[in-house]
């Protein structure tokens, strides 16, 4: 294990292993949290399964059977054991099918929408932020700033409805729901990424402006370096750390937004499954859904941490986690949730 004070770089493999290992307690924490939350939730599992008109004795018998009368901790550990040892996330109260199976069917859809959303955000957000910063105060910058503000303020569901109204209903050029072909994904992806794109643009712009004032940029100019190389090689690369931090936060927001977007556009993903399950009080499914989305989020954070080390050698020497928390705390991102 590398010691923190030394100058030797932590090898990538070790770093990744460490991060994956640290994901485990967090995910366990999430599973415990959701378990506890659902315990407090209204509704009784056995009642839900048997329906509202079942006799009380049958309900009670089923409760015994399902182990629902055991103390909370026992139930939790049973759940953990099933999950870890057999990959069993429980059985849906509504459909009686294994939770895992249902989730896996719908997972790809959510991933598609999210990943494409992230890619769009990354490319468009960074590009517009870059141009905005380099051409500060120009009309382009001002326009982008205003659009950015609107984008950051528009809740996902409103953006979705607006887009449906304009493009599906008034103009009739894009479909409003379903997922039968690539064109069905255009509006959902725009909806999901409009807000993140705006956040990304603003962060890129402010990060770039910060970097552009630095002394080492002046040194590069004093060497006679060309403008485009100064922007790309010296400025953008140094601006990347906060940019990547935001990308991580936005990926989380995007995953959350996927839930809403799936609802609006009737896309059969894990998000829609989650909402439907909550309404149906199908708690095993809710647990599974939450865990899966939390897991996805953790993986995204891991990828973001890896990107940090690739981009900034100072972080390499220092173990990503501490640095990222500092950057996160300093980036003041208290406003963007959805």
Partner 1 sequence: MNQDTLLSIKDLTVHYVLHSGTNKAINNISLDIRRGETFGLVGETGAGKTTIALSILRLLPVPPSKVLGGSILFGGEDLFKISEKKMKTIRGNKISMIFQDPMTALNPIDKVGDQIAEGIMLHQNVDKREAREKACEILEMVGIPRERYDEYPHQFSGGMKQRIIIAIAMVCRPELIIADEPTTALDVTIQAQVLDMINNIKNELGTSMLLITHDLGVVAEMCERMAVIYAGEIVECGTVDQVFDDTLHPYTKGLFGSLPRLTGDKVKLEPILGMMPDPANLPEGCKFADRCPARTERCRRELPELREMESEHMVRCHLADLKEPEGEG
Partner 2 sequence: MKNVMSNRSWERAKDFIRRLCRKKITVVAIVIFLIIVLAVIFADVIAPYGYDDQDISKKFISPSAEYLLGTDNLGRDIFSRMLYGGRVSLSIGIFATLVSSAAGILIGSVSAYYGGRVDNVIMRIFDVMMSMPPVLLAIAIAASVGTGTISAALAVIISTIPMKARLARGQVLALKDQEYIEASIATNATTAQIIFRHILPNILPVIIVQITLTIASSIVTVSSLSYLGLGVQAPNPEWGAMLSAGRSYLRDYSYITLCPGIVLLLTLFSLNVIGDGLRDALDPRLND
Q: Which residues bind partner 1 (CB under 8 A)?
A: 7, 214-216, 218-226, 234, 237-238, 311-314, 317
99 or 293, CB closer to partner 2? 293
- If DSSP codes are grouped into helix, strand and coil, which group holds residue 135? coil
Per-residue burial over 96-114, b if 16 or more Cβ lie within 10 Å, else e, is: eebbbebbeebbebbebbb
224 or 332, CB closer to partner 2? 332
115 or 311, CB closer to partner 1? 311
Which residues, 6 or more positions from 66, have their beta carbon under 8 angstroms from its beta carbon?
45, 46
Binding mask 46-85 for partner 2 (x = CB under 8 A): ----------------------------------------
Please report how close the Cβ of residue 198 comes to partner 2 at its closest, in angstroms: 10
Among 13, 40, 85, 171, indicate the residue that binds partner 2 (CB under 8 A): 40
Tell which residue, 150, 242, 186, 49, has the closest CA to residue 58.
49
The site partner of 6 among partner 1, partner 2, none (C-beta below 5 to 8 Å per kind) is none
CB atoms within 10 A of CB 244: 23
The site partner of 260 among partner 2, partner 1, none (C-beta below 5 to 8 Å per kind) is partner 2
Tokens (6 digits) for 2: 């590398």
Among 33, 123, 143, 232, indicate the residue that binds partner 2 (CB under 8 A): 33
230 or 293, CB closer to partner 2? 293
Using CB under 8 A, which of the segments 50-58, 76-84, 151-159, 183-191 binds partner 2? 151-159
Query: What letter would DSSP give residue 319?
Result: -
Please report how close the Cβ of residue 172 comes to partner 2 at its closest, in angstroms: 10
The site partner of 234 among partner 2, partner 1, none (C-beta below 5 to 8 Å per kind) is partner 1
CB of 44 within 8 A of CB of 326?
A: no
**Helix 12-39 / helix 72-86 crossing angle, nearest 10 deg:** 140
Our CA dihedral for 126, 127, 133, 134, rounded to 10 degrees, sits at 140
Please report how close the Cβ of residue 174 comes to partner 1 at its closest, in angstroms: 42
Instruction: List the beta strands (DSSP E) in 214-320.
Output: none
The site partner of 293 among partner 1, partner 2, none (C-beta below 5 to 8 Å per kind) is partner 2
CA-CA distance, 91 to 288, in Å (whole number)?
10
Give the sign of the dihedral formed by CA 285, CA 288, CA 292, CA 293: positive
The site partner of 126 among partner 2, partner 1, none (C-beta below 5 to 8 Å per kind) is none
Q: Residue 130, interface with partner 2 (CB under 8 A)?
A: no
Taking CA atoms, 11 is separated from 16, 21, 36, 309, 316, in Å, by: 9, 16, 39, 10, 9
CA-CA distance, 297 to 255, in Å (whole number)?
7
Q: Residue 294, interface with partner 2 (CB under 8 A)?
A: yes
CB of 284 within 8 A of CB of 41?
A: no
The site partner of 164 among partner 2, partner 1, none (C-beta below 5 to 8 Å per kind) is partner 2
Interface contacts to partner 2, rule CB under 8 A = 26-27, 29-30, 32-34, 37-38, 40-42, 146, 149-150, 152-158, 161-162, 164-165, 169, 252-257, 259-260, 263-264, 274-275, 278-279, 286, 290, 293-294, 297-298, 301, 329-330, 332, 334-338
């Amino acid at each position: 294990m590398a010691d923190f004070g030394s100058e030797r770089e932590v090898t990538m493999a070790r770093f990744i292993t460490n991060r994956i290992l640290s994901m485990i307690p967090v995910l366990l924490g999430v599973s415990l949290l959701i378990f506890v939350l659902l315990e407090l939730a209204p509704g009784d599992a056995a009642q839900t399964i048997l329906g509202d008109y079942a006799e009380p004795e049958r309900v009670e018998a089923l409760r015994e059977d399902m182990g629902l009368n055991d103390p909370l901790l026992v139930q939790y550990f049973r759940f953990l054991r099933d999950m870890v040892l057999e990959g069993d996330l429980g059985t849906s109260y509504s459909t009686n099918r294994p939770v895992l199976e249902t989730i896996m069917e719908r997972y790809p859809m959510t991933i598609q929408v999210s990943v494409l959303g992230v890619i769009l955000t990354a490319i468009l957000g960074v590009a517009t932020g870059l141009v905005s910063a380099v051409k500060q105060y120009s009309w382009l910058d001002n326009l982008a700033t205003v659009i950015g503000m609107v984008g950051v303020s528009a809740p996902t569901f409103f953006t979705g409805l607006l887009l449906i109204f304009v493009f599906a209903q008034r103009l009739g050029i894009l479909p409003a729901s379903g997922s039968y072909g690539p064109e069905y994904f255009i509006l959902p992806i725009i909806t999901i990424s409009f807000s993140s794109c705006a956040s990304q643009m603003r962060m890129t712009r402010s990060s770039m402006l910060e970097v552009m004032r630095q002394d080492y940029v002046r040194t590069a100019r004093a060497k006679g370096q060309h403008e485009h190389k100064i922007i790309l090689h010296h400025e953008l690369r140094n601006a990347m750390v906060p940019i990547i931090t935001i990308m991580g936060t936005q990926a989380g927001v995007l995953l959350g937004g996927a839930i809403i977007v799936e609802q609006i556009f009737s896309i059969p993903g894990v998000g829609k499954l989650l909402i439907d399950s909550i309404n149906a009080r199908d708690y095993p499914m809710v647990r599974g859904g939450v865990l899966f989305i939390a897991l996805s989020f953790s993986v995204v954070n891991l990828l973001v941490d890896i990107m940090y080390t690739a981009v900034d050698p100072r972080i390499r020497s220092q173990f990503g986690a501490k640095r990222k928390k500092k950057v996160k705390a300093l980036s003041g991102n208290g406003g963007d949730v959805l």
